[in-house]
Amino acid sequence: MAIFEDLTTMGHEQVVFCQDKSSGLKAIIAIHDTTLGPALGGCRMWDYKSDEEALRDVLRLSRGMTYKAAVTGLNLGGGKAVILGDPKKIKSEALFRTFGRFIESLGGRYITAEDVNIRVSDIEQVALETAYVSGVTNRAGGSGDPSPVTAWGVYNGIRASVAHKLQKDTLKGVSVAVQGCGAVGSHLVEYLVNDGAKVFVADIDVERVKFNVKQYGAEASQLHEIHKLAVDVYAPCALGGTLNDQTIPEIKAAIVAGAANNQLLDEQVHGSMLKERNILYAPDYVINAGGLINVYQELHGYDAQIAKKKAANIYETLLAIYRDAEEKGITTNQSSNELAEKRLNAVRGMRDLRNTLGTQKWSAKNS
């Protein structure tokens, strides 16, 4: 793998490989961009097939965080971490504390939080070794599990998508297929059902499916069928890459709007394929920004109501992106990228000017 080529193309600032023999920790921390602030992004634990797969995942995820913070108007950079291994086998206090020490060594350039397979209790062990954590328990003044607010943002994003595409101002009678009903997916199912939507669910974990059927009256679907269902909305809420050459031609929904990060296997190719098929795509990092909004609040004194109110603004952000994409004839993911890059470039430009002015002042003083 041409690592530096990938870093240059994607624009990463720093990638840190962390290993510790005694705790068994193998982790990668990727800091994509700190133009707008410290790089904040969750930590994912996954049993990757190869080190290369883990590296690619963390590079893509961290870049997504830069764009997510930029488009959401937060003063944060983009970063992410992955811990390699089976969560059922490798979790231990020593592993999380060691990971915390690696984060501490970065001096605040990276702030961690929960992501797939990482729970609040895990993050609290990381917090024993570093202050650069968010998403700690409510009892300690933290924001706790971000997934309810992420789901609230996704729910509002689905409302915006339905309003734009189907001209409906309510979800009553709207059908939604949720792929992956874990932390975010289950909360989303609850919001959708409470609003009158008909919800289908699929998950590799049968217990998660049973829970959603019993608790919220969702209908169970097969794993390989969920994206093919004849519904209004397909909501990918498991892992990335589920929008690809094979799945896109099979999608019958008019809208794809879900919580998962990196849904498009290839951003350009698959974003265009969805547009060609006249499927409205809610850019993943825009619709799933609720979790980031939630942990950002924690850095400024947590208030759950403010976090929820700000996450609801995803409705307006998405509508603006949909209109812009239509006007310009571009994909919705291109439109959101442009919006994020506009802010990043403006702040970079401001810094360049500040540096120039600083140099001139110094030269005048010393001439």
One-letter amino acid of 232: D
Cα–Cα distance measured from residue 29 to residue 197, given in angstroms and rounded to the nearest whole number: 39
Judge contact between 185 and 146, C-beta under 8 A.
no
223 makes contact with ligand NAD (CB under 6 A): yes
Q: Could you say which of 136, 184, 233, 293 contacts ligand NAD (CB under 6 A)?
A: 184
Q: How far is the CB of 357 from ligand NAD (least distance, A)?
A: 39
Catalytic site residue 168? Answer: no
> Does the footprint of ligand NAD cover residue 147 (CB under 6 A)?
yes
Q: How far apart are CA 211 and CA 53, in angstroms?
A: 31
Q: Rule CB under 6 A: is residue 261 a binding residue for ligand NAD?
A: yes
Q: Which residue is nearest to ligand NAD (CB)?
A: 182
- In whole angstroms, how close is the CB of 230 to ligand NAD at the nearest point? 19
**CB-CB contact of 165 with 254 (8 Å):** yes
CA distance 33 to 36: 8
Instruction: Output the smallest distance, CB 22 to ligand NAD, in A.
Output: 27
Among 84, 259, 312, 339, binds ligand NAD (CB under 6 A): 259
Sign of CA dihedral 350, 268, 39, 55: negative
| Among 238, 243, 307, 325, interactor with ligand NAD by CB under 6 A | 238
The residue within the footprint of ligand NAD, chosen from 229, 237, 256, 280 (CB under 6 A), is: 237
- Helix, strand, coil content of the chain in percent (nearest 5): 50, 15, 35
Q: Which is nearer to ligand NAD, 36 or 43 (CB)?
A: 43
Q: Does 18 bind ligand NAD (CB under 6 A)?
A: no
Burial degree of 24 (CB within 10 A; 0-12, 13-18, 19+): middle
Min CB(178)–ligand NAD separation in Å = 9
Give me the phi and psi of 35, to 5 degrees please: -55, -45
Q: Give yes or no for residue 136 binding ligand NAD (CB under 6 A).
A: no
Distance CA 266, CA 288 (A): 19
User: What six digits make up the tokens of 175?
Assistant: 């059908």
Kindly tell me which residue out of 288, 297, 317, 332 binds ligand NAD, with binding defined by CB under 6 A. 288
Is residue 47 part of the contact set for ligand NAD (CB under 6 A)?
Answer: no
Distance CA(31)–CA(62), nearest Å, equals 7
Q: Torsions phi, psi of 143, nearest 5? A: -95, -5
CB of 200 to ligand NAD, least distance (A): 12
Interaction between residue 352 and ligand NAD (CB under 6 A):
no
With contacts defined by CB under 6 A, name the span among 77-85, 203-211, 311-319, 321-329 that binds ligand NAD: 203-211
Neighbours of 191 (CB within 10 A): 20
- CB nearer to ligand NAD: give 2 or 270: 270
Q: How far is C-alpha 111 from the geometric centre of its chain's CA atoms? A: 15
Contact between 150 and ligand NAD by CB under 6 A: the answer reads yes
Residues 307-326 that bind ligand NAD (CB under 6 A): none
Asked if 175 touches ligand NAD (CB under 6 A), the answer is no
Identify which of residues 35 and 186 has a Cβ nearer to ligand NAD in the complex.
186
Q: Which of residues 56, 182, 211, 320 is near ligand NAD by CB under 6 A?
A: 182
Please list the residues that pair with 31 across neighbouring strands: 14, 79
- Footprint (CB under 6 A) of ligand NAD, residues 57-116: 114-116
Annotated catalytic residue: which of 68, 80, 198, 310?
A: 80
Largest distance between two CA atoms of the chain: 78
| DSSP H or E run through 201 | strand 198-202
Q: What is the CA radius of gyration of the chain?
A: 21
Site string for ligand NAD, 116-135 (x = CB under 6 A): xx------------------
Neighbouring-strand partners of residue 28 = 17, 82
Point out which residues bind ligand NAD (CB under 6 A).
Answer: 114-117, 146-147, 150, 179-180, 182-185, 202-205, 208, 223, 237-239, 259-261, 288, 291
List, by residue number, the catalytic residues: 80
